[in-house]
Amino acid sequence: MLLILGAYFAALALMIAVKGVFISADRYFLILLAPAAALGLTRRYVRDFLPFVALILVYEHLRGVAHFLNTDLLGRDSFGEPMIAFDQMLAGGRVPPAVLQDWLWTGTLETKDHVLALVSRAHFIVPPTLLFLIWLERRELFYRCAAAFVVASFAGAVAFLLFPATPPWLASDQGLIEPLTRIGSVQADASVLGTQRSLIANAILPNPVAAVPSLHTAYSLLTLLSAWAWRRRVGYVFLLYPVTMWFTIVYFADHYVFDIIIGAAFGAAAWWWTGRALRPGGRLERLAGPFESPLRRARGSD
């Protein structure tokens, strides 16, 4: 455990020191390569994680392609009214991001805002880290969990194409709702750490309105479900993780409650589908295992 933690934190600190806090999927693949190499599991790690990371990068590009098709080829504007109407119904005529910012945002960054910014960025760190720990002990469960993330992601890309949705901060800029502050961007601009993007991330088409479904919501729910399936005690630890994430993305004006509900549905559906697909006779039956534990193999090599 000390070997794993030491190699991981050394690689993470080096990446942040050299490249800043923008931890894209390709960079995090390299960070997790350090503890895998320390355990003598480099080849096995690359074989199992590289397809997963590649598929996530493909999803991120498809998300941008969806935005390009909608705006540049089809000339479609993003939708704002359905989410606004739903959230106003919940909050008595106002949208929840505005209510939370009235309660909590003082106009200047406070400690809570910096902490919640870390929670928001955990979207790119916590799920793959948990997947790595699951992979070390239960490779077949890793396949199921990783497949659920991939399914939710690609389903989200299709939704972004069919239903380009306006996030709260953009709706505020367009005058559709009352003024809001994009707190995550304010905090990032104030950070002393750099935010240099990787070459691969720079080559991926952007999508500033990828709001419905909220994949921050889907990923955090899948993280909880993965932790629960791995070890029940770990699952209890992760109970507050999705709730905190959902609160953060609403308070930061990145998502409506509507987006969260749809995102949770996508995550739950992906978990259910992959569970069925890995059953005997399912489409992913060959990934159901059982497989040798990489951690046991590392111990055996010692």
CATH number at residue 153: 1.20.144
The reply to whether 6 falls in a domain is no
* Residues of the chain where predicted confidence (pLDDT) is lower than 50: 302
Encoded amino acid at 107, one letter:
G
Cα dihedral 239/244/246/251 (nearest 10): 170
In the chain, DSSP assigns E strands to none
pLDDT at 56: 93
- Amino acid identity, residue 167? P
Query: Residue 240 is encoded by which pair of tokens?
Result: 């507050």
Q: Is residue 40, in this structure, part of any structural domain at all?
A: no
43 within a domain of the structure (yes/no): no
pLDDT value at residue 302: 42
Structure confidence by residue, pLDDT tens digits, 178-192? 999 999 888 877 766
| Structural domain includes residue 34 | no
Residue 152 placed within a domain: yes
Cα 174 to its chain centre, rounded Å, is 27
Buried b or exposed e, range 78-115, using 16+ CB within 10 angstroms: bebeebbebbbeeeeeebbbbbbbeeebeeebeeebee
Determine contact, residues 259/169, Cβ cutoff 8 Å: no
Q: Is residue 24 part of a domain?
A: no
Say what the pLDDT of residue 31 is. 86
The CA–CA distances, whole Å, from 248 to 50, 209, 244, 261 equal: 30, 18, 6, 15
Enter the pTM of the model: 0.90
Residue 10 included in any domain: no
Q: Domains in the chain: how many in total?
A: 1
Give the angle subtended at the CA of 136 by the CAs of 131 and 138, to the nearest 5°: 80
Angle at 165 between CA 212 and CA 99, to 5 degrees: 80
pLDDT at 101: 95
CA distance 291 to 143: 11
Give the pLDDT confidence score for residue 22 in this predicted structure.
66
| In-domain check, residue 25 | no
Q: Which pLDDT score is estimated for 247?
A: 96
Structural domain including 165 reads 51-301
